[in-house]
Amino acid sequence: MTAVESGMICAVAGQCQRDMRGWAAEYPGLFSAKPFDAALYSTLSLAMAFSGPWFDAKQLRMANKVCLWAFGLDWLVDYVAASPEEAEGVTRRSLAVAGGAPPVPGDDLTRMLADIRDELAASPSFPALGPVWREELRSMLEAMLLEWRWKTEGRRPSFEEYLGNADNLGFSFAFTSHWIHTSGPPAAADVDRIREASRAVQRVIRLLNDLGTYERDVSWGDLNALLLGATRPEVERRIAALAARSRELIAPLRPDHPEIAGYLERQMDFCAGFYHVGDYWGAL
């Protein structure tokens, strides 16, 4: 990649970052905590722009908006909810709004989700992919609740249980939103193949995230693969195997869905570099 190409991508990321800052101001109840700092908006925007350098800021808008919403959701479930009722209430309200209910008055989480839902519903691919979007949201919310219970009950899952709960990362939900926003109605036969590739990439990113955020996870009291009996070399070997499988699933998508295939692979590779150095969250 040339410096000129990098400059163009960074310019798109800058436009996306301004969008993110605008959403943070529009939904202040969701993004007022200290860890939502300027670097979080910047690095999330860069992740999307470098993962899809053929997209402009308008095309990346939904990926950015949903990813940011998922960070707000994660904060509410992981660090704000003080009881099972509170954590489950977040899930219940979100699923209701995704299904068409109005947002809860005074609740920026459901207000932002309702705006996302309405924007996606205008896409020509939503009739086919709307049920997939709601299913991915449910999977993410249920996985977040399961991890919340593991932590609050003091239970350490096995490494395989933890990896099997990778939906709590939210990648596949955010990707599905981007897919709806940037693609036409898919062929029915392609939906399962694309979803399988997305979920494979999600598992890779789940473990890459754990390698990069170990120190923060220890200090914040989060679960992490390295806290579940797996050594760093073992996790790295598992990442390599999962990444190889992801590329096998992505390769057949390239002829008919080159942008989707490229975006999935570049997301995975961007995270491999990013988590080698840093993290998205700011300090508590």
The pair of three-digit structure tokens given for residue 231, joined into one six-digit string:
């050594």
Model's pTM, two decimal places? 0.97
Are 249 and 29 spatial neighbours (Cβ–Cβ below 8 Å)?
no
Cβ atoms within 10 Å of 248's Cβ, excluding its own: 11
Q: Look at residue 132 in the predicted model and tell me its pLDDT.
A: 98
Q: Where are the alpha helices (DSSP H) in 165-187?
A: 171-182
Q: Write the pLDDT tens digit of every residue in 137-190.
A: 999 999 999 999 999 998 999 999 999 999 999 999 999 999 999 999 999 889
Q: What angle do CA 216, 217, 220 make, to 5 degrees?
A: 80
Q: Is the dihedral of CA 222, 74, 197, 10 positive or negative?
A: negative
Q: Under the phi-then-psi rule, with left for phi > 0, alpha for psi from -120 to 50, and beta for the rest, what region is 229? A: left
Q: Which residue has the tokens 């989480």?
A: 109
Which pLDDT score is estimated for 189?
87
Q: How far apart are CA 218 and CA 179, in angstroms?
A: 34
Q: Which residues of the chain have pLDDT under 70?
A: none
Q: What is the C-alpha to C-alpha distance for residues 166 and 180, in angstroms, rounded to an integer?
A: 22
